[in-house]
Amino acid sequence: MAHVLVVDDDPNLREVYESVLGDAGYRVTLAADGAEGLLALAEDPDVIVLDLMMPVLDGYDFMRLMPTVCAPKPVLIVAGQPDRSRLGGRPILEKPFDADDLLIRLRRLLPKSAIRSN
């Protein structure tokens, strides 16, 4: 089962992610900000769903610090109005988003080893 780390400060949206991703067969870890997300990297997720605008540690700083914590992971940015110039070509899903589109984009980012077990 593929493991998705969701880093988003909106508790309602975290519930949506947990429901949609859980129903699709993913193991889901939730983090309320980038600092919690960095700690959750110890659980070795296959892919990360990341909001940008968060308290404590925002998504931009999370991405900057992630390589100091673990090997690179695929990241899907989910944001309302992302500053694309700061994202280095990473895939972006704009809010509000369609659940099916989220699942399609995540599947594209997953390593083949994680897909086969889903």
Give pLDDT, residue 7: 98
pLDDT at 45 over 90: yes
> Hey, what's the torsion of the CAs at 4, 16, 11, 55, to 10 degrees?
50
Give pLDDT, residue 88: 78
Average pLDDT over residues 64-87: 89
CA–CA dist 14, 31 (Å, integer): 8
Query: Taking a C-beta distance cutoff of 8 angstroms, is the pair 118, 27 a contact?
Result: no
Rounded to whole angstroms, what are the CA distances from 21 to 89, 107, 108?
A: 24, 11, 14
12-41 residue pLDDT tens:
999 999 999 999 999 999 999 999 999 999
93-116 residue pLDDT tens:
988 999 999 999 999 999 877 765
Domains of the chain, CATH where assigned: 3-109 (3.40.50.2300)
DSSP 8-state secondary structure symbol assigned to residue 24: T
Q: pLDDT band for position 118 (50/70/90)?
A: very low
Report the SS3 class of residue 12.
helix
Rounded to whole angstroms, what are the CA distances from 19 to 28, 38, 99?
A: 9, 22, 10
Give pLDDT, residue 115: 67
pLDDT at 69 over 60: yes
Give pLDDT, residue 116: 53
Angle at 52 between CA 97 and CA 57, to 5 degrees: 145
